[in-house]
Amino acid sequence: MIYLDYSATTPVNEEVLNSYIETTKKMIGNPNSLHKLGVEAKNLIDAATRQIANILKVKPNEIIYTSGASEANNTAIKGICLKYQNRGKHIITTPLEHSSIIEPLNYLKKEGFEVEYVNLDENGIIDLKDLERKIRNDTILVTIASVNSEIGIIQPIKEIAQIVKKYPKAYFHTDITQSLGKERIDLTNVDLASFSAQKFYGMKGIGGLIKKENVEIEPLIHGGKSTTKNRSGTPATALIVSTAKALRLAYENIEQKEEHVKELNNYLREELTKNKIIINSPRTAIPNILNISIEKIKPETILHALEKKEIYISTKTACS
């Protein structure tokens, strides 16, 4: 079998799975309970959170656990807009965002918010000068993914954050789902960042939202104690612990892993081009994603033809 759909979901790392199983077996207490078993579970969650915070260079209290990146994106976007709508209702984004960004924005449009799209260059990278032109005093949110999930376009997150920082009423949110665990990310001036564990060999059903401590949001879920006031619900001890393990493993020898993936990407580009297959991902794209086209053949036809040979690809974002 040749599995090439890692942008949709990665296989679970064996060590991560073992960590999940062992934690599930041993930590049976509810982390919110005051008895010994509950305290033990909470202490383990706190240790895992510190580990994640250390890797991402954020504070432990800035991590909100969610069911995945879609919930994290919804929490960030709706949370900021509902909290700060008295300051303004202007939002800036790109046409390249994931459906879990686009759909919350469409919902907010119905609630009277204005969504504006920043211009892109020929490689799909945002025009920073256009962003500076479009950001206003009533802009409360700029949401731009660090890496596009279908083409692999890398956006200049650091430069975007510096522009947004000039406007004290505006917050910058980035979906780092496709870059976390694949490249090092500077979140210094980023206000909110979403991720999902299943993109870096972790378990499905767990993700997170980095929310800097100076940022307030309106939670989507109310009632019930959790690790934070921003997302209610019993903390999933085993999922949180296994996510910390997955992230730690992902960043071990990351530079060597990046070089290996670049080699694979270059090999694919060369061999596919020989067969007159069109490469859509620019050379500046993240090497983990390669988008191609074959003229006069429907994508689904190619997908099912390769499937018969146990080669698995995607035609678009899986949850689109």
Q: Tell me the catalytic residues.
A: 319
The answer for 185, left when phi > 0, alpha when psi is -120 to 50, beta otherwise, is beta
Of 138, 100, 96, 89, which Cα lies nearest the Cα of 117?
Answer: 96
Both tokens assigned to 129: 């000068």
CA angle 91/94/97 to nearest 5° reads 105
**Pair type for strands 192-196 and 207-211:** antiparallel
